[in-house]
Structure 1
Amino acid sequence: MTKSLLSSEWIARLGGFTKLIVGFSGGLDSTVLLHLLASHSSLCPKLIAVHINHGISSNAEYWQKHCEQFCLNSGIDFISHAVEFDRSANIEEGARIARYTVFSSLLTTQDCLILAHHRDDQAETVLLQLFRGAGVDGLAAMSDLSTWGVGTLARPLLSYSREQLEHYAASHQLKWIEDESNQEISYSRNYLRHQIMPLLLKKWPGVVGNIARTALHCQQAKANLDELAIHDDQELLTATNSLFIEPLKKLSIERITNVLRVWLKKNQVQLPSTLTFQRLIHEVLFASSDAAPVVSWNEIQVRRYQQYLYLDKKKVISLPHCIEWTEFPLPLVLTEYNFSLMAKKVNQGLIVPQNAKVEIKFRRGGEQFYWHGQTKQLKKLFQEWGVPPWLRDTIPLIYINDQFAAVVGYAVSDLFFTHNSSDSWLLLTNS
């Protein structure tokens, strides 16, 4: 039975990754998962077990030592991380965010995070989402394989029940820890698991599998809706990631909602409440063309400017007035400001004289820019280019030997532009 829980398809999938990072709490589920993966010679050398010490229980240090010893005995690389988080609010959510933050920091594009969620977990997730009034995205619950952060997230046990994992553990004489907090019914998932699910199972013995199957149906529906939104995006999405309003307004409300849903998710934005979504459509999308409406939630704003919808992830970062690019053309990265600039060789573009002083500044007002044979106020040019007002102060301005040379992403001054030179540059930024 050792290898029956992991199909040949799963072994082949996981074998293609450089590192297999396994979330290892030491409980039944993750113990079975880690033992199962380690039983395959092609996977074992890739395994890294990661234990998150939340520091909540008085037994936390014992659990960490148990996990470390299990990995030592099994020849598996082991990492432990102690995490801090706000325990005055939702402890479940705070612990989950802290846990996933650590996992994310360990992943590269060639790696896979593997978690031990099983079918009972899936059924609980569907019900919790249902109780919150979730839509298709929420009811789709957890997928067995998905892109996550820069890497991949896999849940190879999702089609198996907790009972099957218990049988596996018993047949291999595995030892695991029991987290006493799993019995605390003040937590929503535990209440559902211990108080509600037994009643449902008594009346409908197959209910767990049926609910989990609903998640699969919703995943298919979600995939279909995503595909439709991608089709709609071909006419709606601009190069600057804004949405063209007029053709969007011609769609049905249902398709508008779908386009906005996928647009937000592609930008890694948590979807707003149903009420906020309705405000977004009626107060922003269908506002008069000369209005400047804003709908906000969390750290997100959706704004309208001219004929476009913009997504603004509110950044409370105060950019310095002047940054010297001392090692041009090497990339300039300012981690503390979440800002970077790169220079790419092109056949026509910005000319930077050898040993020139290159500086990056940001608009303060009153700048004059020489472009297309005229000197114009930068403010007027931003208006001509359709740059939203709230973005103008974040656009890098390039100064070469104290002369205003370029507006990154928009224009190069006539004084520093060449049509044909192998020494010209295109500047790219993440801002």
Structure 2
Amino acid sequence: MRNAMRFRDFIGLARGRSFWGRLPVVAAVAFVPSAAVAQQAPTRQFSIEPQLRLEFDDNVLRLPDVAASPNGFRRSDTRASPQLAINIVRPIGRQSLFLTGVVGYDFYRYNKQLERERISLRGGGSVSAGTCTLNGDVRYSRRQSDLEDIVIGGFGRGRNRETSWAPDVGVSCGAAGGLSSSLNYGHDDVQNSDPFRSYGDYHADTYNAQIGLNRPAIGNLSLYTNYRHGIYDNRFLSPGLNESVKSYAAGVKLDREFGRIKGHVSGGVTRVQSNTPGVRGFRGGTYDVALTYVAPRATAEVGFGRSIQQSNLLGVDYSIVDSFNVGLTYRLNPRITLNSGAGVTRRRLSQSPLAPLPTGNFNDRSRTINVGASFDAARHVSLDAGAIWRQRRGDLPSFAYNARILALTIRIH
């Protein structure tokens, strides 16, 4: 019963001494005395928006084109998802509290066994004290997992509840136009209800430190480092010793605006180690680039990167993920907005010999294309319509699929 969560994108940490040997130095640098960063006070917000999403999926089971549906399942299905979208922000002097997310339920026409609550919430707040700000939040999600990574046949294809919670706390200090610094701790706890997916259950702790310089001529330039230790709850190397993955990372990030273009560029070195015999480690470059161009009526986005991700896929220790995506939004008139996008993701899966079933899928590639439109139908009613095409190809034909999705969302605000 632990949900699929992933390693945050890492930007490499050098070899040599362990993170714990470096931590006193990191902490000393991170808390360079400085004036408080000028922060924009949050605006009071309160909305609880009823929504209804209707979706037709011609391959809800994510089966190969030539594969037959397992007994009791239908390949294509229609899903109705009534939900509430929550957005609450309450400033209290220099402090603030917030709660955002979606709470709903998925109903299927045929595949009733896939019906499940769909919850994704994040709540927390911030406290300002002198030159620093303390931030804390908790994320919680619970849903029926997507079926593309569940083994085909009688081994777990179908019902699986993914549940995760992730508390996070950090402190940041700094000056507008000067030095800034921060320390952060986060915890992930991930569970699955399906017996085979439970081999991916894990909990992980992540520690981050960052120091930055903000100058109008260069933008916001930051150096950061992090350490993450993830432990798989149901994979045992020996009594009392669980399979685990450690990641060390350090890098540089630049945020800046160039006229109508704004975005960030980051890069560095990442090192990943598994304590499981037969699982190769990783040491190499990781990066992330995201740029946005804003015109009077249009917005264009492009992003690409390489990251290391931990997930609850069956028997996978970690993945090396390369991704590329583009998007375009165009405001046709005050009531109609058009949007489109495309993306490609390639994964190299580092699998564990402790998996209950061998998969043999070490590399795969997924492609997505989407088009859509938003329409303000009335004063308090909006419609979002779209079409999505998804495709995956991998080392094994059983992990390849095509899926076409049509969706309509009715929003009352």
TM-score, normalisation: structure 1:
0.18
Larger Rg: 1
Name which structure has the greater RCO, CA cutoff 8 Å, separation 6+: 2
Higher helix share: 1
Higher strand share: 2
